Structure 1
Amino acid sequence: MGKASRRKGGTCACGSGRDRPACCGAFLDGAAAAPTAEALMRSRYAAFVEGREDYLLATWAPETRPESLMLEPDQRWLGLTIRATGAGGPEDREGWVEFVARSRVRGQGVRLHERSHFRREDGRWVYVDGEFPGA
């Protein structure tokens, strides 16, 4: 997912409608850990919007995490829709989030539909992997 300015104020990129500091900003800035799998999913989307490779790698399970990411500098993120969730609550050990993220790269529309798997490790949620429904 592509780079954008690191915004510190304004509406959160995750689509919640809340201000960034009261939403994903606390997670992205290291002030708090996401309490649910959905909150982590939303903050990871916001990290893609902001070009935060550091946050994406830090919130990825070690066994599936790549050594580095090559974020598309020309990718403009247009929105995130959460389709469904399963488990992933404050007391759960695992969960999943199905989402659709829309973007545009050099004039071409891109739609990513994924069911992401998450796991809690040492009190923090991490992204494990994803599958592509209908693929």
Structure 2
Amino acid sequence: MSRRSVRAPRAKRSELPAVTTASPCPCGLPAAYGACCGRFHTGPATAPTAELLMRSRYSAFAVRDEPYLLTTWDPATRPPSVDLEPAMRWTGLEILETTDGSAFHTTGTVTFRARFTQQGKPGVLHERSRFARHEGAWVYVDGTFAE
């Protein structure tokens, strides 16, 4: 997801979404956060496909894990920081299409719709994201907004 801009003030701890390792994963797969995207956020494991990287990046936005977002961003397109808006809550992810991006590919694309609320108003981010392998791991390259 390509939410680039100047770094916003960090949200207070009480404003952060309450996601534990036992919580349902924000990415929408039927697994607990710790066994799904959380294992990529906290451990040495890396997402084995572009789609799983997309899901883990969505979850990182949901739990406000800026270091993970920056680590999984292609160095050639990575911004200095990620704007994690305190008033934004990510509420659902729908993968629409995946092209390539498996263990046998070096590039891939994932088209998705990510639902959110911002200051209580619903919104949708519809994007076609490009991914590539960098030093063996999948990274987000960039995205274009879809209609």
- Normalization by structure 1: what TM-score? 0.93
Percent of aligned pairs with the same residue?
Answer: 49
Who is 2:6 aligned against?
none
> Where in structure 2 are the equivalents of 1:1-135 lying within 5 Å?
3-134=16-147
| Gap regions ≥5 residues in structure 2 | 4-10
How many aligned residue pairs are there? 134
Amino acid paired to 2:84: L
Aligned 8 A contact 1:118 1:125 in 2 = yes
| Gap regions ≥5 residues in structure 1 | none
Matches of 1:107 and 1:5 in 2, distance apart?
Answer: 18
Aligned 8 A contact 1:7 1:50 in 2 = no
Tell me the SS of whatever aligns to 1:35: coil
User: Displacement of 1:32 after TM fit?
Assistant: 0.4
After superposing on structure 2, the runs of 4+ consecutive aligned residues of structure 1 that deviate more than 4 Å are none
Superposed CA RMSD in Å reads: 1.5
- Normalization by structure 2: what TM-score? 0.86
Matches of 2:33 and 2:21 in 1, distance apart?
Answer: 7
User: Displacement of 1:69 after TM fit?
Assistant: 1.3
Matches of 2:144 and 2:83 in 1, distance apart?
Answer: 20
Tell me the SS of whatever aligns to 2:70: helix
